[in-house]
Chain A
Amino acid sequence: MSAVIEAHHDDHDHGPAKGITRWLYTTNHKDIGSMYLWFSFIMFLVGGLMALVIRAELFQPGLQFVEPAFFNQMTTNHGLIMVFGAIMPAFVGLANWMVPLMIGAPDMALPRMNNLSFWILPFAFTMLISTLFMESGGPNFGWTFYAPLSTTYAPDSVTYFIFAVHLAGASSIMGAINIIATILNMRAPGMTLMKMPMFVWTWLITAYLLIAVMPVLAGAVTMMLFDIHFGTSFFDASGGGDPVLFQHVFWFFGHPEVYIMILPAFGIVSHIISTFARKPLFGYDSMVYATASIAFLSFIVWAHHMFTVGMPLAGELFFMYATMLIAVPTGVKVFNWVSTMWRGSMTFETPMLFALAFIFLFTIGGFSGLMLAIAPADFQYHDTYFVVAHFHYVLVSGALFSIFGAVYFWLPKWTGYMYDEGLGKLHFWLSFIGVNVAFFPMHFSGLAGMPRRIPDYALQFADFNAWSTVGAFVFGLSQLLFLWILVQATRAGKKATTEVWEGSEGLEWTVPSPAPYHTFAEPPKVS
């Protein structure tokens, strides 16, 4: 392989192809990573717009702006787009960019499949979003699309929704195969598994989760397709099926899915904290084992999303205990991040601010998760805004903040330019304040009994909702600042050094900034 690349070098000194075909046909992990990241940012803004429609309607009691039917489409598509269109592709984009650099590989194992994995997504989401403009309306059954609401009672566009899920799922599965093949087979000599950077470890484990559960989601939506079009009764009681079966199959996918959305975040935070504390990550081995434990446990807790469905006591107890168990390895990770900072030499640039906020706010989300894990208590919390508060804390101030941190952290390596540190800090503080004002009151409105997925609510929830809307708009608008920061960096930013950050360690920081189109044509030696 190296002989081929050497000969290729002379031809490639003209750099990447020019024009649109560069992006359509690229097999370069950096190009594909950038496309994933820009795609996810666009999806983030689209999903965010839907969130603002929701929050605008919920600002005051009464129905002011949208009909309930449209409101349901907003809640459904906000969830689908954020989960499948923003968070997941952003992490895949970060993986594409950073995993080959971190392990000293020239590219991903299957570069053409990499291209396919990306380009499926714009089609999938065009199909999904186009349903909002169809006569029957778009999906309106929640991002968890329980049957029979999503089969017998679904709008006609549900078939497009199913195909969009098939496409996005195929993209994720192929991406995951690519990542595992790359990590297992293309590490630089000397880089044993227990010497890999944490982001690579967390993505290796995440990729196994993806291969295990995305096909189960595909199975669930295929069963839906059969029920809708081919007269089967998987989820139809009158034909001998069971709606609860849908919940089991969906959440067997759904629970590992949310760990898919957080494990790469854990990896990112490990990198950022150790860099800005100028100290190696504390307890590397236990971090690896804790991540693997969390991944394994994620397969046996799914029914904690279904505590109120009528399970026998033994089932409720098992899932309660198993869910609470996950707090242990997660706690190990939090303690290790804090221990990494202990007696470190710390500075607080923007990436570090996001990583610190992650640790604090994700932990809060974890605590509300622990409360939800207690089955009898969950009977009170289930389908209220308490759940909404929990998952927004772990996904927004958790996963999304880690993505922001990662972008600030690695942007100088990708582009060769430093972002404006003052503006970055402003983006952080606006986001931090916005996120907390938006989601903390939801704990209270949930405990007070406000149900989920409603366009109008009883008067006693009004104040909490007003606060949430204000916070949501602050948070949403500050993402436009983020866009400005990114654009401004490439236009007028200071040039970045190879090392970029004083405490940076790892192969990715040994290549120039911006990283050349082709890197590690020769594998580096790792001690």
Chain B
Amino acid sequence: MAESAGQTKGTVLRLALGGVGMFGFAFALVPLYDVICEVTGLNGKTGGRYEAAPAALKPDLSRDVQVRFVTNTNAAMPWHFGAKQGGMTVNPGGVNVAMFYAENPTDRPMVAQTIPSIAPGRAASYFHKTECFCFDQQVLMPGEKVEMPMRFIVDRDLPEGVVTISLSYTMFDITDQASGRYALEKALATKRAPVASAAGDTGAAGG
């Protein structure tokens, strides 16, 4: 009986460790899905940093790719946000610029975060943005309008069958979130004054 008590303890310990491991596994799923989505381009995630070798930056003139732009604001986001062009025809390997505009029509400073998504998913890892307003939080004072460039390169290795790439942006209001408050503080510290006259003591207090 004594050794079965020891065996029992061993069983219990292994099972408890298994349980703890599965709890860790749940949290590990977060980076795991991120990695899988980046590697496969699933979910339209456009991947991390891009460093172009000079050879990759020669436009492939034999091939045309249609890039279309779609913009949305999240339901709770009152800004005006759009693309200045509906799309453009590009060559893989060429550097292109697309322009977007945003306006804060409210009477308080606000902060936005724009999240991109690419369709089809298998094109996502071949679409490289070298400059994008979606990399940072955007602070706009009341009434402020801004034009935002987005520089991108479609990789020369884009799979053969992809003829159209759609880039969809969704803009969220993050004024009340930690990252938004921080961005607003920074912006105000660099002496961007509120534009609206009646603003007075509303937004300038730093959110």
Residues of chain A whose beta carbon lies under 8 Å from any beta carbon of chain B: 1-2, 109-110, 173, 176-177, 180-181, 184-186, 211-220, 222-223, 231, 234, 237-240, 242, 244-245, 248-249, 252, 310, 312
Give residues 153-177 of B contacting A (CB, 8 Å).
Answer: 170, 172-174, 177
> Are A1 and B5 in contact, with the CB atoms below 8 A?
yes
> Are A181 and B11 in contact, with the CB atoms below 8 A?
yes
Enumerate 11 A-B pairs (CB-CB under 8 Å) in ascending A order: A2-B1, A177-B16, A184-B7, A186-B8, A219-B25, A222-B27, A237-B170, A238-B173, A245-B33, A249-B26, A312-B42
> Are A245 and B12 in contact, with the CB atoms below 8 A?
no
Q: Which of A214, A234, A244, A312 contacts B30 (CB 8 A)?
A: A234
- 1/0 per residue, CB under 8 A from A, across B50-91: the answer is 000000000000000000000000100000000000000000
> Are A245 and B29 in contact, with the CB atoms below 8 A?
yes
Known interface pairs A215-B23, A215-B26, A312-B121; A237-B12 also in contact (CB < 8 Å): no
> Are A110 and B12 in contact, with the CB atoms below 8 A?
yes
Residues from chain B with Cβ under 8 Å of A215 in the complex: 19-23, 25-26
Q: Which of A181, A223, A245 contacts B8 (CB 8 A)?
A: A181
Whether B4 sits at the interface, judged by CB under 8 Å, is: yes
Known interface pairs A177-B16, A219-B27, A252-B29; A185-B22 also in contact (CB < 8 Å): no
Whether B196 sits at the interface, judged by CB under 8 Å, is: no
A215–B20 alpha-carbon span in the complex (Å): 7
> Are B1 and A1 in contact, with the CB atoms below 8 A?
yes
A429–B2 alpha-carbon span in the complex (Å): 51
> Are B174 and A180 in contact, with the CB atoms below 8 A?
no
A215–B29 alpha-carbon span in the complex (Å): 13
B interface size (C-beta, 8 A): 36
Whether B179 sits at the interface, judged by CB under 8 Å, is: yes
Residues from chain B with Cβ under 8 Å of A223 in the complex: 26-27, 30
Residues from chain A with Cβ under 8 Å of B115 in the complex: 237-238, 240
A217–B27 alpha-carbon span in the complex (Å): 11
Known interface pairs A215-B20, A242-B43; A180-B25 also in contact (CB < 8 Å): no
Whether B18 sits at the interface, judged by CB under 8 Å, is: yes
> Are A185 and B170 in contact, with the CB atoms below 8 A?
no
Residues from chain A with Cβ under 8 Å of B8 in the complex: 109-110, 181, 185-186
> Are A237 and B18 in contact, with the CB atoms below 8 A?
no
- A-B interface contact total, Cβ < 8 Å: 98
Residues from chain A with Cβ under 8 Å of B30 in the complex: 223, 234, 245
Given contacts A186-B8, A219-B23, A220-B26, 4 further A-B pairs with CB under 8 A are A215-B19, A234-B30, A244-B43, A252-B26
Residues from chain B with Cβ under 8 Å of A242 in the complex: 33, 43
**Interchain residue pairs A-B with the least CB separation, the first 4:** A219-B26, A238-B172, A215-B23, A215-B22
Residues from chain B with Cβ under 8 Å of A110 in the complex: 8, 12
Residue of B nearest to A233 (CB): B177
> Are A238 and B26 in contact, with the CB atoms below 8 A?
no
- What is the CB-to-nearest-CB distance from B18 to chain A, in angstroms, rounded to a whole number? 5
> Are B33 and A238 in contact, with the CB atoms below 8 A?
no
> Are A213 and B22 in contact, with the CB atoms below 8 A?
yes
A185–B170 alpha-carbon span in the complex (Å): 57
Whether B15 sits at the interface, judged by CB under 8 Å, is: yes
- What is the CB-to-nearest-CB distance from B17 to chain A, in angstroms, rounded to a whole number? 10
A480–B11 alpha-carbon span in the complex (Å): 42
Residues from chain B with Cβ under 8 Å of A231 in the complex: 177-178
Residues from chain A with Cβ under 8 Å of B74 in the complex: 238
- What is the CB-to-nearest-CB distance from B139 to chain A, in angstroms, rounded to a whole number? 15
A222–B26 alpha-carbon span in the complex (Å): 10
A223–B5 alpha-carbon span in the complex (Å): 37
Give residues 130-162 of B contacting A (CB, 8 Å).
Answer: none
- What is the CB-to-nearest-CB distance from B124 to chain A, in angstroms, rounded to a whole number? 11
Known interface pairs A237-B115, A240-B115; A248-B26 also in contact (CB < 8 Å): no
> Are B12 and A109 in contact, with the CB atoms below 8 A?
yes
A1–B6 alpha-carbon span in the complex (Å): 12
Whether B113 sits at the interface, judged by CB under 8 Å, is: yes
- What is the CB-to-nearest-CB distance from A1 to chain B, in angstroms, rounded to a whole number? 4
Residues from chain A with Cβ under 8 Å of B33 in the complex: 242, 245, 248
- 1/0 per residue, CB under 8 A from A, across B91-133: the answer is 0000000000000000000000101000001000000000000
Residues from chain A with Cβ under 8 Å of B113 in the complex: 238-239
> Are B18 and A239 in contact, with the CB atoms below 8 A?
no
Residues from chain B with Cβ under 8 Å of A249 in the complex: 26, 29
Residues from chain B with Cβ under 8 Å of A219 in the complex: 22-27, 29
Residue of A nearest to B12 (CB): A181
A237–B77 alpha-carbon span in the complex (Å): 14
Residue of A nearest to B20 (CB): A215
- What is the CB-to-nearest-CB distance from B56 to chain A, in angstroms, rounded to a whole number? 26
> Are B1 and A218 in contact, with the CB atoms below 8 A?
no
Known interface pairs A231-B177, A312-B121; A180-B11 also in contact (CB < 8 Å): yes
Most chain B beta-carbon neighbours within 10 Å: one of A211, A222, A310: A211
